[in-house]
Structure 1
Amino acid sequence: MDPDIAPDTVSAGPGHRSSLVYRALRRAIIEQALAPGAKLPEDAIGEQFGVSRTLVREALARLASEGLVEHRPNRGAAVAYPSLEEARDVFSVRRAMEMLAVEELCGRLNPDAIARLEAHVASEEEAHRRGGLESIRLAGEFHLLLAELTGNAVLNRYINELASRCSLILAIYGRPHSSECAVSEHRDLISALAAGDAQRCRRLMDDHLGAVMERALISPRPERDIRDVLARYADAEGLLAAAPAPRTTRKRRTAS
């Protein structure tokens, strides 16, 4: 799942603070609070998180290596905006990788692994009842947990990157889906994995990802100020900076 450090280690050093900035930004992107194409100005992010631009730059570079951020010449960093062609390619590869994951796990899950999966699905259900964006992230993290449980480090890395990029793709080309339906599908998959029903596992995973891929285009959401978007993510990671001075609007000069 999430390999990063806990919030209480924020004072351990710059590397740890950079990791927390990475984690906060990643969550904001995965939960679609930061929309694809949204600008990521280093000064505004550093101000919100109370860190230097250098640490922000390190976090953005890490996100860029995962395909979640892109650096545009003379325009700075922005949340990645995959093309429709790239979206199809990403989903195609993800389906293949996740089919391999369920084949490796089918009939091989021990009681502790099954308990972890069931606990995660319970968290998904609770997030759905509360509403909000957390359910989007948790739905994706179910697949990351499956990848982790394979014990295959290469497969785990690829699925993590692909699942993250799929979250961006859904923010552009998908419509909001029913978290309740996703939770039900996840429970069915756990049952098939525990029973060792390989054919059913493959069918459930293929149907699940196929349905996600087929969702229709939705209208883009309006862009929000990045400080407002990141405020709760900074707080969650223990990075909340001192309250910045009120932002003022510059008056335009008019020709006399």
Structure 2
Amino acid sequence: MSDGKNTLTTAVYDLLRKAIIEQALKPGMRLPEDTVGEQFGVSRTIVRHALVRLENEGLVVTQRNRGAFVAEPSKEEAQQIFEVRRILENEVIRILCNRIPDTGYDQLRSHVRNEEGVRGKDGPVSIRLAGEFHVLLAELTGNEILARYVSEVVIRCSLIMSLYARSHSSDCAVDEHSQIIDAIQSGDAERAIAIMDHHLGAVQGRAELARQPDSIRSILSHYGKELAQ
């Protein structure tokens, strides 16, 4: 694939991924290649390559003779994903209590300020920023493999919450994110892990069926404008 096509594929992949993380594209929603291509102004081939990347991350499933759909995690799978997330994020905490880049705390507190800036204003953005906080924690460990796994489970949790959650509480997320930073900075791994466990437990506890289907055209028209910029 040429560099130009690679760039376009990555752009479409990033925007579809963002739409899934922000819970605009709902679990089970069909992703027709022609419709996605039309909204983003790209070929079906570009869309197909982007969908393959999303499928490899567990965000999209392809059904024979039916096309691609946003993945619909079962409740059993959702439970397993949250179990893995807790294990991974507890390890992130342990590592950060022993080592963290000099700029790490500034990056984390800057991110929390961004979260506070959209608190109560923009649901989709606050959801995305909440997940990105956890990915940033993992990236600061310097362990690229751990960071990749954390990123994958965080995004898949966005799918789960889109499918099952009653609500999103940005207030709790921001407050507990600050508490986690404070505990890590004090070197108190036990307290930081306890806060993280409570934090993830609260997220998981909000999981119940709550689905609101939308038109894929209306959703992607918003994200397509970003590609045109």
Specify the TM-score bucket, using the shorter chain as the normaliser. over 0.9
Secondary structure of the 2:69 match is strand
Secondary structure of the 2:116 match is helix
Q: Hey, what does 1:214 align to over in structure 2?
A: 205
Q: Hey, what does 1:135 align to over in structure 2?
A: 126
Q: Give the whole-Å Cα distance in 1 for the aligned partners of 2:66 and 2:44.
A: 16
1:239 paired with 2:228, answer: yes
Gaps of 5+ in 1: 1-11, 241-256
Of 173, 177, 192, 2:168 maps to 177
Q: Please state how far the C-alpha of 1:84 moved relative to its aligned partner.
A: 0.6
Q: Hey, what does 1:120 align to over in structure 2?
A: 111
Q: Deviations over 1:47-91 (max 9, x none)?
A: 010000000001000000000000011110000000011000110
Q: Hey, what does 1:225 align to over in structure 2?
A: 215
Gaps of 5+ in 2: none
Matches within 5 A, 1:2-151: 13-151=4-142
- TM-score, normalising length: structure 2: 0.95
Larger-gyration structure (1/2): 1
Q: Please state how far the C-alpha of 1:110 moved relative to its aligned partner.
A: 4.0
Secondary structure of the 2:198 match is helix
Q: Please state how far the C-alpha of 1:111 moved relative to its aligned partner.
A: 4.0
Q: Deviations over 1:186-239 (max 9, x none)?
A: 000011111111111111111111111121414311x22212101221222x33
Of 124-133 and 174-183, the range deviating more from structure 2:
124-133
1:233 maps to amino acid: Y
Q: Which runs of 4+ in 1 moved over 4 A?
A: none
Higher helix share: 2
1:23 maps to amino acid: D
1:224 maps to amino acid: D
Q: Hey, what does 1:190 align to over in structure 2?
A: 181
**Identity rate of aligned residues, in percent?**
52
Q: Please state how far the C-alpha of 1:109 moved relative to its aligned partner.
A: 2.8
CA RMSD of aligned residues (A): 1.3
Q: Give the whole-Å Cα distance in 1 for the aligned partners of 2:13 and 2:153.
A: 17
Q: Give the whole-Å Cα distance in 2 for the aligned partners of 1:22 and 1:118.
A: 29
